[in-house]
Amino acid sequence: MVSLYPWHNDWLRAEKCFTMKNYHVIISLCLIFLASAMEAQAQLRSPNLNLGIQVVQPLGEFAGNYKGFPAGVAGTFSMPMLGTPVEWGIGYAWNNMGSRDKDIVALVNQDSLAGNVYANGNLALRSTGNRFKAHARVRPLNGKLQPYGDVFAGLETFKTTTTITIDNSGYSSELSTNRDHLDMTFFYGWALGLRIRIAPAIYAEALYENITGGLVKYVDNETVEVASDNSISFSLKESRTNRSVYQVGIAFGF
């Protein structure tokens, strides 16, 4: 009687060896594909420029002291770190904190012999906020839809200036500009954004920022007064400057 067990055992060993080789081939192909995809993804990542318009919503004690929703413009420039989803960059934002215009009669020239010279003009008071920041960004996807998250920190200035212009037969010329108030503070925060590609290297973008701002003094717009001699008077308010920022804009890849 002939036993089939040795032949059957050899067949099982051969089948097991063949299956193991298949697994190795599949795993190797997956690793090669993953490495190729990561390399392609890295090659497609490039510096990018973001430009947008924004509206600011004061929060906490800032909302209790400042009335209104400052609007403005902003821009950031980001660089990828060695082709990874991590980016670093810098940014700037300008917000209109308040304004006032008044028609005046301005003293143009003082002359003790011929008499003083006056002209009709305009006095413009402008209060602005200027933010300068550095940020780190994680942008995991690099396709048509690109969500991302930021952390950032920087310096912000709150400035008020007055500019007097005079009318000159159809055109205006600047007579003087004075800085009436300047204060600054540090801030930090986080942001969430989303880009949608609308053309090669061009994206529509929406962004939300949550800012924790330091203690700072700024002009109370409701107390601004212009005297008959065109001098300015106002009161200052002081508070921390926490806020939310809502922004829409466009981004460009290079």
Higher pLDDT, 40 or 241: 241
Map residue 142 onto helix, strand or coil.
Answer: coil
The structure tokens listed for 230 are 């065109």
pLDDT, tens digit (0-9, with 9 covering 90-100), for 102-129:
988 888 777 766 677 888 889 999 999 9
Amino acid at 148: Y
Residue 184: what residue type?
M
Nearest to residue 210, comparing CAs of 194, 187, 176? 187
Count CB-CB contacts under 10 A for residue 26: 10
Backbone angles phi, psi at 70, to 5 degrees: -60, 135
The DSSP-derived string for 194-218 is: EEEEEETTEEEEEEEEEEEE-EEEE
Q: Which are the contacts of 190, defined by CB distance < 8 A and separation ≥ 6? A: 149, 150, 151, 152, 209, 210
139 and 150 in contact (C-beta within 8 Å)? no
Identify the pLDDT of residue 4.
Answer: 46
In this predicted model, which residue has the larger pLDDT, 6 or 26? 26
pLDDT in tens, 136-186: 999 999 999 999 999 999 999 999 999 999 887 767 777 889 999 999 999
Average pLDDT in the 59-68 region? 95
Q: Where are the alpha helices (DSSP H) in 56-150?
A: 61-65
pLDDT given at position 40: 41
Say if residues 127 and 182 touch (Cβ distance below 8 Å).
no
Q: Which residues contact 83 (CB under 8 A, 6 or more apart)?
A: 41, 42, 43, 45
pLDDT, one tens digit per residue, over 124-133 is: 999 999 999 9
